[in-house]
């Protein structure tokens, strides 16, 4: 049988065929009796991001630790689709590994919302402790049970703060009446309302033009995102509200994990933890550099006393977690410890 050289699968077809990585890469790989296991790891961040650097380091560490018996092929910048495509691919087995924030995975396992609450992480050291301890283990168990995937490691995008065109935010009173773009998710809308802002859900791709035209007064994000999206060009003030620490989790589909030997599983897990522990350091350095860059470009940056803001927002946690049962309350207890 011959195959036309013009025959090709679209990205959507690749994701919905359920083909394994080896099958997609090519038939010769299937024919080798001792062929390496290939894990397809895909994400939506740019190739310049700390996230992508974490993926590439992870791939290198896996190959070294397994002597090449496991290969990680990285597809960055949405090459295999958006987050919905990638998580669908995890279920089908056409994508093995991906990443997102817990705000997205809470759509698959509601208990993940506990990792995405305003002012729940006190500082970076507190975040590291939670994401490498019992808190992370419980979330991974829940995600495996409810969505068929497990958390390999945690990285980060950084601390999100508010930028706007109206005034610097120094106290909760300064939030009042500000039209701030937020994602269309209750875990973002409700705390912003509690602070007195007028949260306005619009697509992320429209933030720049919406600020230009006055549809919104501002938005929120980590410094690296402000630089990458050039939001400093349409903002006057950037207030270090640090209202939301934005972790990301590297997840592997259960079927992909199960095809690994015990030794390979251990190697992949250790490589993921090492690579994304380093990724957090890179992300922090990138955000520090980005903050200095926007200051130099003329954006007015100010620090904020966040303790009063935390007191205002914490009651919202109860509403966001009230349906999560005893396990949800146990995770909240760990956050407060």
- 236-270 pLDDT, tens digit each: 999 999 999 999 999 999 999 999 999 999 999 99
pTM of the entire predicted model: 0.87
Cα dihedral: 67, 69, 152, 77 (round 10) = 100
Q: What is the pLDDT of residue 145?
A: 95
Q: Rounded distance, CA 179 to CA 148, Å?
A: 38
pLDDT tens for residues 96-128?
Answer: 999 999 999 999 999 999 999 999 999 999 999
DSSP element (H, E) containing 282: helix 262-296
Q: Measuring CA to CA, which residue among 274, 255, 261, 258 is closest to residue 62?
A: 274
Q: Residue 18, by phi and psi: left (phi above 0), alpha (psi -120 to 50) or beta? A: left
Q: Which residues contact 296 (CB under 8 A, 6 or more apart)?
A: none
Structural domains in the chain, sorted by start: 11-336 (3.40.190.170)
**14 has a pLDDT exceeding 80:** no
Q: What is the pLDDT of residue 35?
A: 67
Please give the structure tokens belonging to residue 165.
């065109």
User: How many CB atoms within 10 Å of residue 3?
Assistant: 7
Distance CA(46)–CA(237), nearest Å, equals: 26
């Amino acid at each position: 049988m011959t195959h036309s050289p013009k025959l090709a699968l679209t990205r959507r077809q690749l994701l919905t065929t359920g083909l394994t990585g080896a099958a997609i890469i090519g038939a010769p790989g299937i024919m080798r009796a001792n062929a390496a296991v290939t894990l397809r790891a895909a994400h939506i961040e740019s190739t310049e991001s700390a996230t992508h650097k974490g993926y590439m380091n992870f791939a290198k560490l896996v190959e070294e630790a397994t002597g090449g018996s496991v290969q990680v092929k990285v597809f960055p910048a949405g090459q295999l689709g958006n987050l919905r495509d990638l998580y669908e691919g995890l279920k089908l087995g056409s994508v093995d590994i991906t990443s997102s924030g817990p705000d997205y995975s809470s759509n698959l396992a509601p208990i993940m919302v506990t990792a995405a609450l305003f002012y729940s992480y006190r500082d970076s050291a507190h975040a590291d402790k939670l994401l490498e301890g019992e808190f992370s283990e419980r979330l991974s168990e829940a995600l495996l049970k409810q969505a068929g995937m497990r958390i390999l490691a945690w990285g980060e995008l950084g601390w999100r703060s508010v930028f706007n065109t109206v005034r610097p935010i120094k106290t909760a009173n300064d939030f009042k009446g500000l039209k701030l773009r937020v994602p269309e998710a209750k875990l973002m809308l409700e705390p912003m309302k509690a602070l007195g802002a007028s949260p306005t859900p619009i697509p992320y791709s429209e933030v720049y033009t919406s600020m230009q035209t006055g549809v919104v007064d501002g938005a929120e994000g980590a410094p690296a995102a402000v630089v990458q999206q050039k939001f400093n060009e349409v903002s006057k003030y950037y207030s270090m509200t640090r209202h939301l620490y934005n972790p990301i989790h590297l997840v592997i589909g259960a079927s992909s994990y199960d095809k690994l030997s015990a030794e390979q599983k251990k190697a992949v897990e250790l490589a993921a933890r090492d690579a994304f522990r380093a990724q957090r350091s890179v992300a922090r350095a990138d955000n520090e550099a980005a903050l200095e860059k926007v200051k130099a470009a003329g954006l007015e940056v100010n620090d904020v006393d966040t303790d009063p803001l935390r007191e205002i927002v914490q009651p919202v946690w109860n509403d966001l977690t009230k349906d999560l049962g005893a396990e949800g309350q146990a995770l909240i207890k760990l956050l407060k410890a």
